[in-house]
Amino acid sequence: MSVPTYEVYAIRYARRDARRHEHFVGGDPHDAPMPMDYFVWLVRNAERTIVVDTGFTAEVAGKRKREYIRTPKAGLALLGVKAEDVREVVITHMHYDHVGTFFDFPNATFHIQDDEMNFVTGRYMRHARFAHSIEVDDVIGMVKALFKGRLAFHKGADDIAPGVSVHHIGGHTPGLQSVRVHTQRGWVVVASDASHYYENMETGRAFPSVVDLGAVFEGYDKLRRLADSPEHIVPGHDPLVMARYPAVSKELEGIAVRLDVMPSRKA
């Protein structure tokens, strides 16, 4: 039997202004604006709907001074997905901007790496350097979900569905995982924060939020092994994703793009 294909979407739910030196270990000699986008991703075909990450809430956006566009749930609704109908959610990692609206998916199983739950319930949370990107209420919520049998644990690589798999990367957080999806253009890898920007992986300069720098560099290689080409790797926070991929429709320009079609090289 042939492997099924899926449509893949990036949905932008928030953004912020930032500068280049904030996005590279060791800074950057050219200090210029380099804004950051915040995404959730949708993987679907006629049989299955899989959501990758759940973003953050308006409340957390206010607290952390991010520009909130809409809830991930509202973004998904624009693509015809009802959050309460979603059964499978991949949590790439437990940072506030990836797990924050988990409660909007009351019927979902959350796919997460062993290492990530260990990380956010373990000794490193004593250190502000690591804890500041985590909302404790998100951790409590996921522990409650665990006791309701709603967490699916993965250690390394695992299939979520035929043609959709998670792959442990680590580095940025110990249990960071990326998602590999079979599409009409081949194997696409939703890297999430295995590479925040195209430039991080392309120039081998890591994003400064990091637990294990070596694992970040190993991760860039792993992304390239998993994807059909570098143009099949989708970084986690790069506004170029919105520029390179086509909008889902005229109405969704600046909101949602199709990742299962080839990006343009113009942007």
- Output 73 or 93, the one with its CB closest to Zn ion: 93
Q: Shortest distance, CB of residue 21 to Zn ion, whole angstroms?
A: 18
**With binding defined as CB under 5 A, does residue 135 bind Zn ion?**
no
Residues 6+ apart with CB under 8 A from 175: 93, 94, 112, 113, 114, 115, 116, 117, 118, 119, 168
**With binding defined as CB under 5 A, does residue 116 bind Zn ion?**
no
Cβ atoms of 49 and 85 within 8 Å: the answer is yes
Residue 256 is encoded by which pair of tokens? 């949602």
The stretch among 119-127, 188-196, 214-222, 225-233 that binds Zn ion (CB under 5 A) is 188-196
Q: Shortest distance, CB of residue 207 to Zn ion, whole angstroms?
A: 9
Return the closest-CA partner of residue 89 out of 62, 109, 118, 69: 109
Q: Shortest distance, CB of residue 95 to Zn ion, whole angstroms?
A: 5
Cβ atoms of 252 and 246 within 8 Å: the answer is no
Cβ atoms of 204 and 213 within 8 Å: the answer is no
The stretch among 97-105, 144-152, 204-212, 244-252 that binds Zn ion (CB under 5 A) is 97-105
- C-beta atoms surrounding 77 within 10 Å: 13
Residue 53 is encoded by which pair of tokens? 């990450």
* HEC per residue, 151-218: EEEECCEEEEECCEEEEECCCCCCCCEEEEEEECCEEEEEEECCCCCHHHHHHCCCCCCCCCHHHHHH
- Output 90 or 163, the one with its CB closest to Zn ion: 90
- Output 142 or 182, the one with its CB closest to Zn ion: 142
- Output 97 or 138, the one with its CB closest to Zn ion: 97
- Output 37 or 193, the one with its CB closest to Zn ion: 193
C-alpha 177/C-alpha 192 separation (Å) is 8
Give Cα 228 to chain centroid, integer Å.
19
The stretch among 5-13, 90-98, 123-131, 161-169 that binds Zn ion (CB under 5 A) is 90-98
The stretch among 6-14, 78-86, 89-97, 109-117 that binds Zn ion (CB under 5 A) is 89-97
Are β-strands 67-68 and 49-52 bridged in parallel, bridged antiparallel, or unpaired?
Answer: unpaired
Print the binding letters for residues 192-231 with Zn ion: x by CB under 5 A, - otherwise.
-x--------------------------------------
The stretch among 8-16, 49-57, 93-101, 203-211 that binds Zn ion (CB under 5 A) is 93-101
- Output 119 or 163, the one with its CB closest to Zn ion: 119
**With binding defined as CB under 5 A, does residue 97 bind Zn ion?**
yes
Q: Shortest distance, CB of residue 129 to Zn ion, whole angstroms?
A: 16
Binding-site size, Zn ion (CB under 5 A): 2
Question: Length of the chain, please?
Answer: 267
- Output 95 or 180, the one with its CB closest to Zn ion: 95
Summarize as ranges the residues that interact with Zn ion (CB under 5 A): 97, 193
